[in-house]
Amino acid sequence: MMNFPEITGFSFSVLLLFSVLLVKFIVTRFSDPRPLHYFRFYCQRLADKVNKSSNSENQQNIAGLVAIIVTLVPLLVILWLFEAFIEVPWLWQGLLLYLALGSLSQGETSLSLAKALSAQQKYLARETLTPWLLRDTQELSPMGLSKASIEAQLLHHCALLFTVSFYFLIGGGLAAIGYRLLLEMHFSWNIKRQRFRHFGRQANQLVKILQWLPARLLVLLLLIFCSGKNPVLFTRLLRGHFFRLSNDILIYCFALVLGIKLGGVASYDQQKLRRPAFNDLGRQPEPADIIHAGKRIKQLSIICSFLLLFTVVLLLAIAKL
């Protein structure tokens, strides 16, 4: 019989990841705490101090880069040094991972939104979706709310669950929390808002770089397991987006898989921003597509779990030889 100490390295990280996800899932059944809320508040106050609209574009860019360095580097150094005083390393790694992972209640929120739209309760639907979005929702139609919800589900899963797990598995808790803190800076200083157009550019670029590989892995899983009979066609359509430094390929792939249109114009702080539109031959999304999108994302989660568990079993089998 296998002893617990034999489970080390990558295999132990996978089991710890599943354990923390289970704990987070249970906790969010009773409440949905956002432990990094105060860090985002700090980022907003920091921007109020150093992001001056009177400065030149170059000065705002430099100020944004300095803000990242003076915030992120000391925090990561402190966390790295503090780890030496922890008697139970796996508990510390689990805590960092718990803080880094995003909320697991997005699916329930999307289901509530779909029910509200089906009952033609547009005000309730907007109020349900607003906390999860940066874009303005006051003028969104049911179709616009459905599209925004589907994109939010996908990007939330990619950025706050899949990518966090990816960096935890390859770099441990410090890598996961470092990525998440940078992501919170990106959320706080999002360049889609006019006042952060230059100040948030460095955070935006760094997040795009860190998300590039995990997003492509997620696209690969979508093409292999969720594209039905069209993986070759979808691959040809997506090929031009593969090396671009953005998540457009992920949204495009999801639009193809669901057979709907995604992307297009969105409003931020009452200013319309033209974004690429994806899958023009698809139909406009409906409330039912929100539920279908949630099922696809759950399917991806199950597939990832089986692949990781299969890898763990394979590694343990090799170790016994």
Domain ranges within the chain, ordered by starting residue: 4-320
pLDDT category at 316 given cuts 50, 70, 90 is: confident
- Which tens digit of pLDDT belongs to each residue from 177-189? 999 999 999 999 9
Position 237 pLDDT exceeds 70: yes
User: What's residue 305's pLDDT?
Assistant: 94
Please state, in angstroms and rounded to a whole number, the distance separating the CA atoms of residues 314 and 306.
Answer: 12
> Between helices 248-258 and 231-238, what is the axis angle to 10°?
150
pLDDT category at 3 given cuts 50, 70, 90 is: very low
Helix (H) or strand (E) holding 312: helix 287-320
pTM for this predicted structure: 0.93
- Which tens digit of pLDDT belongs to each residue from 76-90? 999 999 988 888 999
**Does residue 80 contact residue 177 with C-beta atoms inside 8 Å?**
no
Please report the beta strands in the chain, taking only residues with DSSP state E, as ranges in sequence order.
262-263, 266-268, 271-273, 277-278
Cβ atoms < 10 Å from Cβ of 313: 11
Average pLDDT, the chain: 90
- Across the range 54-81, mean pLDDT stands at 94
Please state, in angstroms and rounded to a whole number, the distance separating the CA atoms of residues 50 and 117.
Answer: 42
CA torsion sign, 271 to 192 to 163 to 74? negative
